[in-house]
Structure 1
Amino acid sequence: MPNDQSAPRQGAYPPLSPAAQALAARCESRVNELARHMARETFEELPGYADLPADVKDVEIAATVRSGLRLFLRRVRDTQGRAGDFSLFRERAAQRADEGMPLHTLLRTHSAGAYVLWQALRAEATEGEEGALIELVDFLLRGHEAIIGAVAETYLDEQAALFAERREHHRSLVRGLLDGSLPPLRAFEELGLEGPTLVVHLQVPPKEVPTAPDVADRRRARRVQTVLDRSFGSGAVSLLGVDGGQVITALRADDPDGTRTGEELATRLRQVCGDTVRLAAVTAATAGDVPAAARTAADIVRVARACGRPPGPHRMDDVLLEYHLSRRNESSDRIAALLDPVGDRPELIETLRTHLEHRHDRRSTARHLGLHPNTVDNRLTRITELTGLDIASARGNALALAALLLRGNADGRPAGA
């Protein structure tokens, strides 16, 4: 490998013959000419290069070419020493990434430059210098390989850093829009949103997988993002974590309440994330309505889960009574406290939730929980004994449901206002 200060010096080249060094030395007077030729003629044939500003071609790129030519000639004279490193190539690669030049165009400039240098060496060679020319070509190609590696590595590192920076800025805009810390119209403009929108709250609980949790989280997040990209293209913005989040997208003219959009998205997400996906979609007429729509969508999902509804797309109409009962007021704490006597008995809480969801059908409840119907009866009796709630009565049923909702969802988090 050529002598790059950023890499070990193993694999240094054998010394070049005096004849090869003499042949290369005859090209030193042509460095400026070759640099101008590459920057203004050779590279013009590459896709996108002609669109670059003239000063970039005549100053930055020409200077980089001159530096590369001189570096090659210095290394020809001293193959074992430190004739220079690739720092300028790396610096320029980072600049080109920042400016948006495609990587393939950047790498082709280096390859085209190496070819022009080979042509110059061949033109300088005279009869009897064939061996020297072969030495120099071998030296040139090995050096070119190292330069290409350094340039590609730096470009990709810079591109990754820029992507992370843009993604975080994007997330901060969405976060500011949702929590109200940014003026809605400004956030809409910067995010490229306009008109009525649909705000979707996603909940994608992790599955038990043999891989490490962080690996599984990344895979699930990539799968969810892929589904969103295919469903909404570039017309949606999102704020996602490992277990879901919010998506804001344009409201479809053929789906004014977002019901079809939610059902289609849930179907696609189930195909890649399993049957535990929950979501709710709420419309927002203006940018200022988005925060409230996001809170409502999150509450619909929370309520649907808390009262034992199966995963899938949820609508307000599906949980209308439960949603109303989950709203907090002066009586909320006292109603929630009715279940305190069984608060440390998760099996009783889950049995109550499932029994209410299955409309007091003990056999259906037993099948869902994998229990014997008599076990369900025993648990329900125990709940009544400990709490005093007669869940067989209309009043007891309503109080039990309200208490479940006000105590929070299946994870025990408190219900929102």
Structure 2
Amino acid sequence: MADTPDPLILAGRPAHEVLERQTARLARRLVRAFAEEIPIYRRLPQEELDGDITRITEHNLRMISHMLRDRCPPTRTELAPLRASAARRAQEGVPLEALLAAYHLGARKIWEHLFASATAADFDDALTVNRLFLLYVESVTAAVCSAYVEEREGMLSQEQHAMHAIASALLSGDRTALAAVRLAPRYLILAIAVGPHADERSAEPGGAIAGRRKIHRIRGALQREAADQVLSVLDAAGGLVLVPLPGDGLEWAAVGEMAEAMGRAAGAPVWAAAEFAVPTGVPAAAKLAEEVLEVVRLFQRPPGVYRLTDVPLEYQLTRPSEATAALAGLLDPLLDNPDLLRTLKTYLDSGLDRRRTAERLHVHPNTVDYRLRRAVSLTGLDPMDPAQLQRIGAALAARRQLAHRGSSGRGT
């Protein structure tokens, strides 16, 4: 068995004995200091201050005394009560910074008590005591933080599981699962698609981490805009969000602000399709929002928030119909010359502006004119005729939809 090291002497007394003999009195003094200097401790019940808080403070004093006596760091067994106490504080909602403030305040006041009468003759032992105090602060900070975070993550995991279950029940229309749940009068249903953040492009594990962080930021941005708990079923590419609303609903401008907030938080483009619904209407509204989002992405609309009234024609054209193949077939005569089909599509996308079309295709405007005349001669559809322009637009939309469904090998 190793010999016990010589005691560390401060002001003519072994430092560890000072704490051993005054543990109870010092603990009460420290707990009073916590209540006076740390606001949240001031609001704790007196029973808790006199009980659990005083007991863990006494344990800390005994642990520091053992460290000074043995000149060694605290053991895992000695740190276990601190971890358990930190977990309880996490359950009570005491902020981690307040908890750490109490430990650091306690360490400072114990240090001041020990060194109150120290002299120059104690210099060598004082250096060792200081080193041990730094080791104490390092050890308890690590133990307290890890226990607190583990407990909070467990609590959040349970909360998220419960919120996910509610969201799934709303989306599926499971009234039995919702029987005991307090629901909002109405919900804003957002179907969202999120582009990749720059950090997600890494093939390393950091890419997946960046994706999870992106979704966490999106949830946070939505929650800041909502008055109650936001429900979501999301992954890095997007998903569904249910925002609870008061009875008087929400202005459309506020929905646009939510979409902008999501984009800023994600650091990536965000497309959203929005619908409003009472709880029983959520399944149908979510289905419609997902369909509108699919149309928005299919027609390469820019990031932003959309509703059905923004894409009614495109939505209708993408519904399964016997007319879809017939519409797509109107442009079959152009399949042997992809340049003609591409020029016609770009011409419509450019607002029938031949010069802008030429710039996008990197050709001369006269080339655009020639290709358009050839397309008219082959199909009989003239984009300058308003009635035929609608048919051309419908035919292009039908071709795009068929290509998207993988039911046709035709190019667009």
Q: TM-score w.r.t. structure 2 length?
A: 0.69
2:87 pairs with 1:87: no
1:150-229 correspondence to structure 2 within 5 Å: 150=142, 151-181=144-174, 185=178, 189=182, 194-206=184-196, 212=202, 213-214=207-208, 217=211, 220-221=214-215, 224-225=218-219, 227-229=221-223
Structure 1 position 130, deviation (Å): 5.8
Identity of counterpart residues, as a percentage? 28
Contact 2:214 2:236 in 1 (8 A): yes
SS at match of 1:48: helix
**Equivalents in 1 of 2:373, 2:49: separation in Å?**
80
Task: Mark the CA change 1:238 to 1:121 in structure 2 (over 3 Å): closer, same or farther.
Answer: same
Q: Structure 1 residues 215, 126: closer, same or farther in 2, change over 3 A?
A: closer
What is the Cα deviation at residue 71 of structure 1? 1.9
1:42 counterpart letter in structure 2: A
> What's the secondary structure of 1:246's corresponding residue?
strand
Deviation at 1:289, TM superposition (A): 1.1
Match of 1:300 in 2: 292
CA distance in 1, matches of 2:306, 2:73: 70
Shift of residue 16 of structure 1? 4.3
Report deviation, 1:287: 0.9
| TM-superposed deviation, 1:79 | 1.4
Counterpart selection for 2:397 from 395, 401, 413: 401
Change (3 A) 1:80 1:38: closer
Kindly report which structure 2 residues correspond to 1:222-237, keeping only aligned pairs within 5 A, or say none.
Answer: 224-225=218-219, 227-232=221-226, 236-237=230-231
Q: Distance in 2 between matches of 1:244 and 1:54?
A: 48
Give the aligned residue type for 2:236: V
- CA–CA distance in 2 between the matches of 1:78 and 1:405? 77
- The Cα offsets for residues 173-210 of structure 1, whole Å up to 9 and x where unpaired, read as 32332243565855862xxx522332222223236679
1:49 aligns with 2:53: no
Q: Is 2:317 the counterpart of 1:325?
A: yes
Three-state SS of the structure 2 residue aligned to 1:67 is helix
Inter-partner Cα distance in structure 1 for 2:18 and 2:343: 90
**Deviation digits for residues 232-267 of structure 1 (CA, Å, limit 9, x no counterpart):** 4656444333233333335588876x5323433445
Helix, strand or coil: the match of 2:16? helix
Q: Are 1:259 and 1:281, in contact at CA under 8 Å, matched by a contact in 2? A: no
Structure 1 position 110 matched with structure 2 position 100:
no
* Cα distance in 1 for residues equivalent to 2:53 and 2:342: 68
2:56 is equivalent to residue 60 of structure 1: no
The letter for the 2-side match of 1:70 is: R
The separation in 2 between residues aligned to 1:65 and 1:110, in whole angstroms, is 9
**Structure 1 residues 299 and 126: CA distance shift in structure 2, 3 A:** closer
- Equivalent position amino acid for 1:176 in 2: A
**Are 1:248 and 2:239 matched, yes or no?**
no
Contact map agreement 2:23 2:58 (CA 8 A) in 1: yes
Does the 8 Å contact 2:166/2:178 carry over to 1? no
Consecutive unaligned residues of structure 2, counting only runs of 5 or more, are: 408-412
Q: Deviations over 1:154-176 (max 9, x none)?
A: 33444344434433443343233
Deviation at 1:117, TM superposition (A): 3.5
CA distance in structure 2 between the partners assigned to 1:25 and 1:147 by the alignment: 22
Residue 63 of structure 1, CA deviation: 2.8
Taking a change above 3 Å as real, the CA distance of residues 42 and 297 of structure 1, as seen in their structure-2 partners, is same
| Alpha-carbon spacing, 1:126–1:262, altered in 2? closer, same or farther (3 Å) | closer
CA–CA distance in structure 2, aligned partners of residues 405 and 78 of structure 1? 77
After superposition, give the CA deviation of every residue in 1:41-100 in whole Å (9 maximum; x if it has no partner): 333323222443455434433332232222222222221587664222223222222321
Structure 1 residues 161, 367: CA separation in 2 closer, same or farther (over 3 Å shift)?
Answer: farther
SS class of match (2:196): coil
- Backbone CA RMSD of aligned residues: 4.9
Q: Deviations over 1:138-168 (max 9, x none)?
A: 2563244224422234334443444344334
Contact 2:347 2:353 in 1 (8 A): yes
Aligned length: 387
Alignment of 1:137-148 (within 5 A): 138=130, 141-148=133-140
- Amino acid of the residue matched to residue 63 of structure 1? R
The 1:225–1:32 alpha-carbon spacing in structure 2 relative to 1, beyond 3 Å, is same
Q: 1:16 to 1:232 in 2, by over 3 A?
A: same
**Contact 2:167 2:233 (8 Å CA) reproduced:** yes
Q: Is 1:308–1:357's contact at 8 Å kept on the other side of the alignment?
A: no
Comparing 171-180 with 364-373, greater Cα deviation is found at 364-373
CA 307–278 in structure 1, closer or farther in 2 if over 3 Å, else same: same
CA-CA distance at 1:303 after TM superposition: 1.4
Cα 1:210–1:38 change in 2 (3 A) is: closer
Unaligned runs of 5+ in 1: 1-13, 413-417
